[in-house]
Structure 1
Amino acid sequence: MKAIRNIQYGAMVFFGLLLGTSCSGLLDEPLENEQIAEGTDYTQTQNMVLMLYGAYNQLYDFGWEVYPTLSVRGDDIDIGGRGDQPLFAQADSFRYDRNFWAMNNSWTSLYSDLIYWQGAIEEIQKYEAAGANVTTAQQYIAEIKVMQGFEFLQLARLWGRILIPTSSQPSELLNVELSSFESVMQHISALMDEAIPLLPDVRPNQRSDVRGGVTRYTALAVKAMANLELKNYPAVADATGQIINSGLFILEPDFYHLFKLRGKLNDENLLEFQYSDYGTGSGASNKYLWDFFGPTSWTPARSGSSGGWGFWEPSMKYIQFMLDRGERERLESTVIFTPDGITDLRNAYPDAPSWISNTTADGDVFNNSVRTKFYSGKHYWPSTMLTAGRTAYGENKNFTVIRYAEVLLMHAEALTSGATSSVMTADAAVNAVRNRVGLGPLSGVTLDQVLDEKFAEFAGEWGIRFYDVVRHDRTAELSYGGRTYDAGTDRFYPYPLDQQDLLPQLRDENQ
């Protein structure tokens, strides 16, 4: 928690160093603001760390609407709302509206971060030139490059051809040419190669300066993700193999608790966004807007705990897929049922097991809702885990971003797609993930089995399912429940209309 306090303070100081409108003003006037740091005494090298704290604060202040925009299009998730979020529902069905506010906000949120981080790098370089420790300065810059790489990945997954800022001045975006999806992935991989040797050789939760911060293994994971999109499977196998071979990471034995209190700064996590109420019942609290995932009606075990909006719904298709596999632990941890949802499930799946209930393992009861039949268990924080005095849904919950299970299954995906590795076989990687939830081992695993395992493991997480089936041209899976996916037009969102008005490069771009 000390690290979060430091990050928060550092961000405040960083903004104080920027005269005029900061890069977060992109949300209002994306191309008219400049970062100007005047009057800063760069010989006060002890202040350089504030640039790093500010960078982490920006990362953890991840725009809440970016996540559903990234993640809603897979067959693992349906949008809740029953009509009161029509543009999200349209996106879920591959009917994209250029005026959709969430798409525009996602664009500006991600570019705000990237330009902010470019400014932080420029400031660190000034401290370095004024005599700051070179090794420390280069590590800070490397950490920020990993943040940039992660968000470049998200932008390219959303829009394909994107702009790569090279300056902290937003107006410079006018002069940047669009880079192809493949070029962006290559850029990310190269950024990670620059960063990896300069980063701490530890697990994130082993860092003492910024506990839970970026390490070389975070960078290796981002590199693997970028090369997976490039179908450069040898590079994926190499990057994931280095993580596996480090011996630093283990799978949390309890899948349910991985996403609860025990999951905060867990040995499985390579990247997580950190939030805290600082252990106090009132006062300062940093939290993600978990309300998006929360129930519109529930009977919490701790009376007075708040609910949410009910806009995020695991799909019936996913539930039936898991039941057909005989899965319980991952299904119970991923899906929370309502009475109406249970009725619909039993009508569609008469052999649904008796253990399915609308009462969670921690005693919270999820009631019927006009918006959704099912809720996300991975984004659920039991009311009994709230700090006494706190009532907001999900308060004190971290957001898991990259975990070791994904590293293992990326490794297996690379091997079943033609790569080789002396570190771990595809069978061993898949079976490690299966063993955690009590499933028997597989032998001679195929790519189909790897993708099924990823479907089971990562439902509702970061759009992984959507990007997997698109990457492997298995998009027939996405045409379900009245949806029809067109591989020629539906992979990327159109550029937001507001951004086309500002950036001429986007206006004539056809996707």
Structure 2
Amino acid sequence: MKSTIYIQCLLLVCGLYLTSCDNKLDEDAELRSYQNDIDYASEAGAYGALVGAYETFQNVGWEQIPLIAVRGDDVNAGGLGDQQGFADTDNYTYDNNFWMYNSLWENWFQDITQITSQIEQLELYRDGGVNSSLIDQYIAEAKTLRGFITLELSRVFGDVYRIESTDQSEITVETKDDLMQWISDQMDEAIPNLVNLHPNQRTDIPGGITKYTALTIKAMANLELGNYQAVADATGEVISSQKFELYDDYYQLFKIPGKLCNENILEIQYSDFGQSSGDNVAHLFAFYGPQNWTAAVPEATSGWGFFEPSTKYIKFMLDRGETIRLETSVLFTDRGIADIQTDANYATLPDFVTNTTRDGDIINDYSRAMFTSGKHYLPSIQLTEGRTDYGTNKNYTVIRYAEVLLMYAEALTRGASGTAGSADDALNMIRTRANMGTLSGVTSDDVMDEKFAELAMEWGIRYYDMIRLGETSELSYDGRTFTMDKAYLPYPLEQLDISPILDEYNNQNN
């Protein structure tokens, strides 16, 4: 790999391997074979192949996660911009020629193919004499990354490719249910070979995949299938490990202090290496940020304003008496506050509902939206001195222990049996952290409300919950009308044009 590439979870401790890896690994991702030039007896080379899988996962585009998330009733697309297709998607009007659809499909399936290529390379290192159990672990980590990406793509598009080989003749389009079962089975294969640690306990790859990452992804896949006992079993094992805990400060959880904390099960890591200039591995958080602000650090730049918490979500939180979770999740403009107050039921708002954050950043009025996401916000005072880009040096949280607790609680309320405590226990841990009163006799509705409050604006979790439960009324809000035929995005036109397999499958099922 080129020496300028840094892997998210290897930023500080693995630079030696990254700078020494050969460019051939990049070319392997393009399915080229240079077996005569690679020392397949080298353990360092096998490690480099694993690093390639992680680097592939890290390279998520700024447009991909927002597209996954935008259709829920927790978030709206910011308007009055140059991404009309993004706004239309939020309103359940789909154009399969919109570039974001193709970008998500093409880039993530390229990533899956790349990771699969790394798995095939790892098998060559096994054949070359590298310790077989180490190769098993590395392959299990790569399978876990591949499983997560496949799960997210299937949530978005429904029936998609299942890729286990770089041999194109073996690639098929599978139904969503079949894919979820395949992902669950893949995690079962991976779990015995993964390390029994919290991700932040790994010294070789801090924040890397462990058995608990795979258990959580298995639970996510079985939640989509409605296999609640499998959900309870997988999440129960994570809970019973006692390796995870909720971070005590919800506000800081999504900021610099929350990096690699005990709550995070999977996160994409970024760093400016604590330096004011030079190398900076960063995500483009500007997409989520306010279009206009007066930052406490004057040099800090603003965002683009394309991602807006919904008024429905804000009122839901106000009705519940939420404090820290609402303050953390939503940044308010004066215009947004005034709009809420036009409803007589919200004429008087809590003191924390203000356009000035606790860290002194002022969110000014701007045209595209009335609110912006606090979960994607990094206070300007937490920027490394000399760095000015919105949100730079912030990690992207992927999976949290809070989601595990809520999946466990839901599974129990839907008939599963558990070995890691009651649904009340799991739910109340989350409510206590949020300074909310405890509940007894928790119901499925209680759990779904708690998921709405806790996980809003994170990876489209709310939307995909409503889809799997058929809650079309919840998604019909603020003038939108949702029907289940809108559950999945259409296949990108460009992919239909170039893939006979996908085009034939699409024609057969329409």
Q: TM-score, normalised by structure 2?
A: 0.94
Contact 1:10 1:51 in 2 (8 A): no
CA distance in 2 between counterparts of 1:450 and 1:44 reads 49
Match of 2:489 in 1: 493
Task: Determine which of 428, 431, 446 is the counterpart of 1:431.
Answer: 428
- Secondary structure in structure 2 of the residue aligned to 1:256: helix
Offset at 1:16?
1.1
SS for the counterpart of 1:270 is: strand
What is the CA distance between 1:83 and its match in structure 2? 4.8
Please identify runs of 4+ aligned residues in structure 1 that moved more than 3 A.
Answer: 5-15
> Secondary structure at the residue paired with 1:34?
coil
SS at match of 2:308: strand
Which of 303, 314, 322 pairs up with 1:308? 303
Decide whether the 8 Å contact of 1:345 with 1:352 is kept in 2: no
Structure-2 separation of matches of 1:11 and 1:189: 32
SS in 1 for 2:398: strand
The alpha-carbon distance between structure 1 residues 324 and 178, as it changes in their structure 2 partners (threshold 3 A), is: same
Unaligned runs of 5+ in 2: 1-7
Structure 1 pair 469–283 and aligned structure 2 pair: CA distance change class (3 A): same
Partner of 1:188: 183
> 1:219-258 maps to which residues of 2 (within 5 A)?
219-258=214-253
Q: Counterparts of 2:253 and 2:246 in 1: how far apart (Å)? A: 9
Instruction: Name the residue aligned to 1:478.
Output: 475
3-state SS, counterpart of residue 281 of structure 2 = coil
CA distance in 2, matches of 1:9, 1:193: 33
TM-superposed deviation, 1:79: 0.2
User: Which range is displaced more, 49-58 or 499-508?
Assistant: 499-508
Separation in 1, partners of 2:463, 2:380: 31
Equivalent of residue 450 in structure 2, options 450, 453, 465: 453
1:475-499: CA deviation from partner (whole Å, max 9, x where unpaired): 2100011111111x11111000000
* Distance in 1 separating the partners of 2:395 and 2:412: 32
Amino acid at match of 1:154: E
In the alignment, the residues of structure 1 paired with residue 209 and residue 243 of structure 2 have an alpha-carbon distance, to the nearest angstrom, of 14
Shift of 1:128: 1.0
Q: Contact conserved, 1:71 with 1:462, CA < 8 A, in 2? A: yes
- 1:91-490 alignment runs, 5 A limit: 91-168=89-166, 172=168, 176-348=171-343, 349-487=346-484, 489-490=485-486
Distance 1:51 1:12 in 2: 13
Once residues 76 and 208 of structure 1 are traced to their aligned partners in structure 2, the CA distance between those partners, rounded to angstroms, is 37
Which residue number in structure 2 is paired with residue 26 of structure 1?
none
Amino acid at match of 1:55: A
TM-score, normalised to structure 1's length? 0.94
SS in 1 for 2:501: helix
Displacement, 1:52? 1.2
Structure 1 residues without counterparts, runs of 5 or longer: 24-32
Counterparts of 1:207 and 1:52, CA distance in 2: 15
What CA distance in whole angstroms lies between the structure 1 residues aligned with 2:16 and 2:166?
21
SS at match of 2:23: helix
Partner residue of 1:90? Answer: 88
Q: Does 1:16 align with 2:23?
A: yes
State the alpha-carbon separation in 2 of the partners of residues 19 and 480 from structure 1: 46
1:370-392 per-residue CA deviation (whole Å, 9 max, x = no partner) reads 11110100000010001111111
CA distance 1:197–1:108, shift in 2 (3 Å): same
In structure 2, what is the Cα distance between the partners aligned to 1:81 and 1:257? 29
Distance 2:271 2:292 in 1: 25
CA distance in 1, matches of 2:43, 2:416: 46
Output the CA distance in 2 between the equivalents of 1:291 and 1:486. 32
The answer to which of 283-292 and 5-14 deviates more is 5-14
Shift in CA distance, 19/242, structure 1 to aligned 2, threshold 3 Å: closer
3-state SS, counterpart of residue 486 of structure 2: coil
From 38, 56, 59, the equivalent of 2:57 is 59
CA drift at 1:47:
1.7
The answer (yes or no) to whether the contact 2:195–2:211 under 8 Å persists in 1 is: yes
Instruction: Number of aligned residue pairs: give it.
Output: 497
Aligned residue type for 2:256: L
